[in-house]
Structure 1
Amino acid sequence: MRTAAIVFEGGPLPADELQERIAQLRHAVTLDTVEKLQRAGLEVILATNHRDLAEAAHSLGARIFATEAAGFHFGRVLGQAVRESGADAVIYLSGAALPLMALEEIAWICRALAQGGPTVVVNNVQSADLVAWHPAAFLERVEPPENDNLLGWRLREAGMERVLIPHSAAIHFDLDTPTDYLILALSGRGGPRAQAALRMLAWPDDRLRAAADVLATDLPEVALIGRVGSAIMEYFNRNLPVRLRVLSEERGMKALGREARGEVRSLVGDLVTDLGPERFFERLGEICDAAFFDTRVLFANRGRRVSEWDRFHSDLGLADQIRDPFVHQFTRAAVNCRIPVVLGGHSVVAGGLWVLADRAIAARGGPAVP
């Protein structure tokens, strides 16, 4: 069976310094991933409109599928790339997805695809970052999805058996926000290009380091707020003496289209609005030793729209750079909270938190119980 890995990494060119830095980090991770997939024996196809990245990947031996930022439609472009690959099976992922995935996990995916009938393998039921399927031509049976969050669902609905990759930090951790890159840097893991790029960062990480250290202590009270799944809670319960206070809501809000339609409703968001950010974090600091806050649910509550600029500067705690008055006030209150509060996207209560849990387990003498 001939299996191709199709990696998507592109989009509009950076418009500001922060976007430029994140693009450099994503490109470094992408090239590390291309090399890793090749070591696993896969043919690698990079779909991109970024010329420098294409040239670097081509020099590593990857095939380049040129895309355009204007009028880009994920599903249609993926379908064309799959047809041109001629592969029997496909592993799709974005360039910044699963930077810690090991060769053994890639081999597991390939074995899963080779067994039985039509099969789709995903790393996450709600919102997959990696989707692999066999036979590759099965993609022709589904309506081309607008984004990769829907790809696994569409293939399953078309009749494929869905297989979930066993849980691990590597399988759940992907890179979307500045906080995710700070977690990768703190872990000391990842490919050589990524680590070299991470060493050039000058982003503040004191709150992250303090919160990560709390996880390794005895019986701390730790709040998890946002799209928290059961797998990370179970992993904590098996491996760390941590008392979790969990407020989980709006899982799958992107994949289900709730965010796009303005339908997100957040109890925490309403509490922050009613109490005010300062009183909310004052109360949170009275009952917890650290907090990990997936702010995207809060930011989308009741149809609110927050720019990437404001979201990312909130993640970094740089309140003075934020233009939205509410996000500015919220971020300032979080930074001034008496406990370390880690702000970010889904990963801070999912894959990124899993990476930090592994760090805490190692600090306590490990090993982890899967």
Structure 2
Amino acid sequence: MIEINLLPESYFKAKRKKQIIAAVIGGGILLAICLVVLYLFTLMNIASLNSKIEKVEKERKEFDKILTEIDNIKKTKAVVKERLDAINELLDSQVVWPLLLYNFNKTIPNNVWLTSLTNKIEAGGFRTWTVDGISLFKEAVADFISNLNQPNGLFRNANLVTLVETTISGKVVYSFKLTFQSIEEAKIKPPKEVGINDVSKTGIYGNTYVNTEYKCSLFVPEGWLMKEDPSKLVLITKEKKGVSEKFTPVVDLVVVKLKNTLTAEEYLNSVRKNFGKLFKNYKEISKRKIAVNNLECFEIVFNWQTKSNVERNTLITLRQKQIYYVKDKYAYVLTFTDVDERFRDNLDDFNIIM
């Protein structure tokens, strides 16, 4: 069947034109809507960013206040520490003088009376004293000087300056002047233990070794000497009483960085395997878990032999106690070594150090 279109061509052109215009207008409206939505979304983002900026700025101001307060606290802490140091220095001096005067009073024999006592500080912390007095007998003055020169006392170098016979109330007496020195005041003060938070760097402070890197410290009693050692953190030896000593008691502290996570017992067992090769005639005595300052540690005690410092080609038997502690992939090993027959005599000192 054949269809015949009687509408003119211009009709169809006009229709297509209207359709194109409608599509363009629709597209423009859609584009405008998209632009409006995008604009509104951008405004919302800007508002959100502005809100976040205001919040950050507010927090920054609060942090600035906190930092200012921290700075003030640090300044206050520094002032307080300075005052506490001054107070501690005064307290230390209060401790020194009673000890000095108490010990000096014990040196004064019967039949001796003092008329004056003066002192002055000398280089090196020594204090020189001058004493004027009266005695009924010359022997009492000699006893006085002897008492001041006791090797284990706080005084030394007592010397008689003058001794003059005189008469008081018809009785013959002896007027004398003598001088002596007191030992360094640093040695008179009781040992003071220094904590990790009391110092700013690793070192030896009086009777205490402090390591700020590994957060550990050791306090040693009188009669022990400390020095830092390249192969160890610190080496502690007991003062020698004579050159004929076979062996000097020694304590050392070593810190080892672990490659793997191990407990104190596991690390001890790993190094213990080689003790037979490291120590001549190694013989284990005990191995046990202990607590040191409420920290779980492991202790091993064993004997081994080495050459004597005095007698050539002579072996001496040493006893060694090692304490193992592990924290943050670091193993801390504290070792005490002495000759076997004297080991127990120094255990109390080692327990103080430990």
Q: TM-score, normalised by structure 2?
A: 0.22
Bigger fraction of residues in helix = 1
Q: TM-score, normalised by structure 1?
A: 0.22
Bigger fraction of residues in strand = 2
Structure of greater relative contact order (alpha carbons < 8 Å, 6+ residues apart): 1
